[in-house]
Amino acid sequence: MPRETPTFRIAVLAGDGIGPEVTSAAVAVLHAVGERFGHAFATEPALIGGAAIDATGDPFPAATRAACDQADAVLLGAVGGPAWSDPKAPVRPEQGLLALRKHLGVYANLRPVKPHPATLAHSAIKAEVLEGVDLLVVRELTGGSYFGRKERHADRAVDVCEYSIGEIERVARQAFRLARTRRGKVTSVDKANVLETSRLWREVVSRVHREEFPDVVLEHQLVDSMAMHLIARPRDYDVVVTENLFGDILTDEAAMLAGSMGLLPSAALGEGAQGLYEPIHGSAPDIAGQGIANPIAAILSVAMLLRHSLGLHREAAAVEAAVDTILEAGRRDATRRPRDLGGTAGTAAIAMAVLAALPPMTPARPADSPFPAIALRD
C-alpha cells in the first residue's frame, strides 16, 4: 500500500521580467524536493503584476487572490518593468504586489544576509569585513508610506507615512523572538531625530523590549548612519528591525554584503503559517529574457517556504546545502559561477546544478513531519 502523503498547495506567481525565469528554476527544485523526500506539492500558477495587467487590467486579479487564499504558501518571482512604468498609467504592477502583501497580512518580512565563504572574493567589499557576517533584517511590510494616503495635485504630491502602536508592537515582537533563536541582539533602525512615526517606533520597540524581552540586547540606530555601519562593520549586527521603506533600501544595500542581488531570499509572514516567499530583487529588465538571471535567491526562497510555512526543516536544509555546494563549486571555476558573481553560468545551468546537488531519494518515513511549522507566534 502506498503511504498517504499530504498535498501541499503552493500558489506560484511568476510575474514579470526575470520573474518567470527564476521562478521556474525554483519550482523545479521544489518538485525535486518532493520526489526525493516523498512529498506532494501541487503548484497553482496565477497572474500578478504587469502580466496580470496585460491579461485582465488588474495587477492582483480575483482569481489570483483565490489561488493564494487556498494555498499553504505563495511563491513569487518579481513584478514591474518599463512596459508598465508610464507615470500617467492608471495602474502599476507594484500595486499588485502591495495588495497581495496586505491581503495576506504578511507584516514581517524576513531577509537573511549571510555571505557564503566562496563568494567573498567576488564581492566589492573586502573579505575581512565580510567574514562571519550573519544578519537578519526584519522589515515591516504592510504599513508606512507604502500604504498611506497618496495625493497628486498640479503642483505637489503627498505620501502619508503612518504607523499605529499595534503595527509596531507586532513586528517588534517577531524581531525579538527571532533574536532569541540567534545571538540575542536586536538593532532597531529609525529616523527618530526627524520623523514622528520614528519617535513612536522607538518608544514602542523600547517598551516591548522592557516588558517582554529584557533578556535580548536592544540598540537603536538612525537609518542614515546605519547605511554606513552596515558596510563598515556588518558583523556587529544580528537582527535588524525597521519600517517598510528603510527596510527596502537597507536590504538592497545588504545584498552587496552577500555579493549580489541574485542571492537574497525573503519570507513574508503574518500570524499563521501561510507565507509569501520572494527574492528581494526585482524583475531586472536589463537582463530579462536572456536566460542569465541568477535563480539562487528564488531557490533559497523555496527553502524558506519549506521551513516556515510547511515545517519541512530537513528539506529546507537540503536545499540550502545544495546551494552551498554550487557556490563552493563556483569559487574558482567561472563556468560554474552565476554571471552576477563574475561567472558565466546561466539560469538553467545553476538550476540543474542545484538539482544534481540535492540528496538522492530518501527511504519512506512517516508522512507527518516531527517538526511543527514555525509560525512566529508564542
Residue 294 interacts with ligand NAD (CB under 6 A)? Answer: yes
Residue 224 designated active-site: yes
Give dist(CA 117, CA 112) in Å, integer. Answer: 15
**3-class DSSP state of 155:** coil
How many residues make up the chain in this entry?
Answer: 378
Of 41-80, binders to ligand NAD (CB under 6 A) are: 78-80
Host H or E run for residue 276: strand 275-277
Residue 248: name the closest of 167, 144, 96 by CA.
144
User: Taking the complex as a whole, how short is the minimal distance between the CB of residue 334 and Mn ion, in angstroms?
Assistant: 28
Residue 339 cell numbers, joined: 554571471
* Interface with Mn ion (CB under 5 A), residue from 243, 248, 320, 340: 248
Of 5-24, binders to ligand NAD (CB under 6 A) are: 18, 22
Residue 94 interacts with ligand NAD (CB under 6 A)? Answer: yes
Q: Which stretch binds ligand NAD (CB under 6 A): 181-189, 269-277, 290-298, 329-337?
A: 290-298
Give dist(CA 136, CA 78) in Å, integer. Answer: 21
- Active-site annotation holder among 16, 72, 163, 191: 191
Q: Which stretch binds ligand IPM (CB under 6 A): 94-102, 119-127, 300-308, 345-353?
A: 94-102
* Cβ proximity to ligand IPM, 94 vs 328, nearer residue: 94
Q: Binding mask 330-369 vs ligand NAD (x if CB under 6 A, - otherwise)?
A: ----------x-----------------------------
Give dist(CA 37, CA 39) in Å, integer. Answer: 6
Dihedral, 265, 313, 118, 241 alpha carbons, nearest 10: 40
Residue 59 binds: one of ligand IPM, Mn ion, ligand NAD, none (C-beta under 5 to 8 A by kind): none
**8 A C-beta contact, residue 75 and residue 13:** yes
**8 A C-beta contact, residue 22 and residue 56:** no
Binding site for ligand NAD (CB under 6 A): 18, 22, 78-81, 94, 97, 261-262, 278, 281-287, 293-294, 297, 340
